[in-house]
Amino acid sequence: MQRLIWKKHPFRLLFYLELTLLGISLLAAFSPLFPHRFHLQNPPNIPDILTPITLPSLGIRFRPIVIPIIAALAALGLRLPFGSRFAQVMYTSLGFGLSWLAVLLGGRGERVFPSLLLVVVIRACLMFPWKGRILVAIAAYGSFLMMLFMSFIGMTPFGIPLGRRLPRLLRRMPDELVQPFLINLKLNSALLFALVLMFVLLLVGTLLAEKQSRQQLSLANRRLREYALLIENQATLQERNRIAREIHDSVGHSLTAQSIQLENVAMLLDDQDVEQATQHLQKARQLGKEALQNVRQSVATLRNHPLGGQPLTVALTKLVQECEKTNGIQINSEINLSYPLSTEISTAIYRVIQEALTNISKHSHADKVRLILKEKTTGILVSIKDNGQGFNPQENTTGFGLQGMRERIEVLGGHLDLTSQPGKGCKIQFEIPLSADENPSFTG
């Protein structure tokens, strides 16, 4: 069962318009006095409560019963029912009933009825969807046509005429001339009221659509603020992951190489080879300084380019030479790149290759590595293969280094593949797609 909710009038401007229309109806119920009407007597069958009051001093003549009826219709506009369709239908029906009551008991339907019906239609537009609005407008127009017909044939409910008395000039004219004039007058009134109803429907519909648009815009703004907070949190998380990758790739590489040098020092000291131990110790000290420098750079700015402003080919050549010198691994590299890449792509390729060489020197026990970087029509292909002991990829999927490598490549729209078997080495291959703007040789 729907819950009935009474709400204030949602549009102050329309509420003032309703009060204006009701005021016009009330004024229309007052008729001016004409000298030829002073002698007219009220029909004997009219109850005392419907007896008109004549105020010669103000020049008006009216039936007081109309005032409380119009006041009741005005009071209905203070609260509108929502939630219950039955209550809304009964509310609208009550509005029609009061409008008819004001006309049947007060007369002067052609002047009073249109304004009252417009008030009912405006309120219905605020409660019903378009289908209900059109039905109420049709009911209002049908009521107006019925009132015109009753007035034209001279019906007098409760002994009260619905139309106004014809001027003396028209009453003296022949009926064959007066009747066409009256018919045209009624038709023009019906057409005019139909146009006014259409205007009211469009006006209220536009106001409701504009209000709904404002509400939707407010809701969209609130959702955008929520999304902005979500994106901010996501950006913070991504920045943390990026910092973690930077520290892992730069500092982790230096510390791993330093650890290898210190292990070599320990072995050489056991063999009484002080000269070689001293060289490895010096290299370990140098790597320690580099690691400390990388930590400072990562914590302070995390903005320094890992390539140091050098082309990718030059930076990779130095990285390969350093890895060979530090770890004693023979690296056969084929780096073929005829055009410069963007900073983002160059950094990602450098970091992934650096991480791969670090993992090889740390875990694979390999003595040979083959590095290939070549151009393709749609992007850059990189392959790194070693002859180490290999491993089972299904049992080593949580390594932070491998995760960081995948993240770097996937951010650029690429894909990284790792194939390895125990005793058969490991191969890492990835491809980064390039657009036509990034690849001068792109013809697709």
How many CB atoms are closer than 10 A to CB 355?
Answer: 24
Residue type, 108: R
The answer to whether residue 111 sits within a structural domain is: yes
**Which residue, of 123, 145, 165, is where some domain finishes?**
165
Q: Residue 368 has which token pair? A: 């040979």
pLDDT tens-digit profile, the chain (444 residues) = 567 888 888 888 888 999 999 988 888 877 654 444 433 444 555 555 556 565 555 555 667 788 889 999 999 989 999 888 899 999 999 999 999 998 888 777 778 889 999 999 999 999 999 999 999 999 999 999 998 888 877 777 766 766 655 555 555 556 666 567 567 777 888 899 999 999 999 999 898 889 889 888 888 887 887 777 676 667 567 667 766 766 666 677 777 777 787 877 777 777 777 777 787 778 877 877 777 766 665 565 444 456 767 889 998 998 898 888 877 889 999 998 888 888 888 888 998 998 888 888 878 888 899 999 998 888 899 999 999 988 888 776 545 567 778 888 888 889 999 998 888 899 999 999 887 566 665 544
Containing domain of residue 29, as a range? Answer: 5-165
Q: Give CA–CA dist 202/187, Å, rounded.
A: 23
Number of domains in the chain: 2
Residue 209 lies in a domain: no
Phi/psi at 430 (nearest 5 deg)? -145, 155
What is the three-state SS of the chain? CCCCEEEECCCHHHHHHHHHHHHHHHHHCCEECCHHHCCCCCCCCCCHHHCCEEECCCCEEECCCHHHHHHHHHHHCCEEEECCHHHHHHHHHHHHHHHHHHHHHHCCHHHHHHHHHHHHHHHHHHHCCHHHHHHHHHHHHHHHHHHHHHHHCCCCHHHCCCCCCCCHHHHHCCHHHHHHHHHHHHHHHHHHHHHHHHHHHHHHHHHHHHHHHHHHHHHHHHHHHHHHHHHHHHHHHHHHHHHHHHHHHHHHHHHHHHHHHHHHHHHHHHCCCHHHHHHHHHHHHHHHHHHHHHHHHHHHCCCCCCCCCCCHHHHHHHHHHHHHHHHCCEEEEEECCCCCCCHHHHHHHHHHHHHHHHHHHHHHCCCEEEEEEEECCCEEEEEEEECCCCCCHHHCCCCHHHHHHHHHHHHCCCEEEEEECCCCCEEEEEEEECCCCCCCCCCC
Q: What is the pTM of this model?
A: 0.50
- What amino acid occupies position 83? G
411, HSE (Cβ side, Cα atoms, 13 Å): 15
Domain assignment present for residue 261? The answer is no
- Considering 165, 199, 226, which residue would you say is the last residue of a domain? 165
Q: Are strands 368-375 and 330-335 parallel, antiparallel or unpaired?
A: parallel
| pLDDT, position 83 | 85
Domain contains 181:
no
- Considering the domain boundaries, does residue 172 fall inside one? no
Domain boundary among 121, 147, 165: 165
Tell me, what CATH number does 327's domain have?
3.30.565.10
- Evaluate whether 122 touches 14 at the Cβ level (below 8 Å): yes
Residue 55: predicted pLDDT? 57
Contact (CB, 8 A) for 409 and 348: yes
Residue 417: strand pairing partners: 429
Residue 137 pLDDT: 94
In a domain, 178, yes or no: no
The packing angle between helices 130-152 and 175-246, to 10°, is: 170
Any long-range contacts for 4-9 (C-beta under 8 Å, 24+ apart)?
A: 4/81, 4/82, 4/83, 4/84, 4/87, 5/81, 5/82, 5/83, 5/84, 6/79, 6/80, 6/81, 6/82, 7/79, 7/80, 7/82, 8/78, 8/79, 8/80, 9/77, 9/78, 9/79, 9/80, 9/126
Residue 228 in any domain: the answer is no
Query: Residue 385: which of 398, 373, 403, 399 has the closest Cα?
Result: 373
Go through 167-193 and write b for each residue having 16 or more CB atoms within 10 A of its CB, e for each that does not: eeeeeeeeeeeeeeeeeeebeebeeeb
Residue 436 domain-assigned?
A: yes
- pLDDT score recorded for residue 381: 93
Distance CA 142, CA 149 (A): 11
Q: Given this model, what pLDDT does residue 195 score?
A: 94
pLDDT score, position 39:
39
Report the Cα 246 to chain-centroid distance in Å.
36
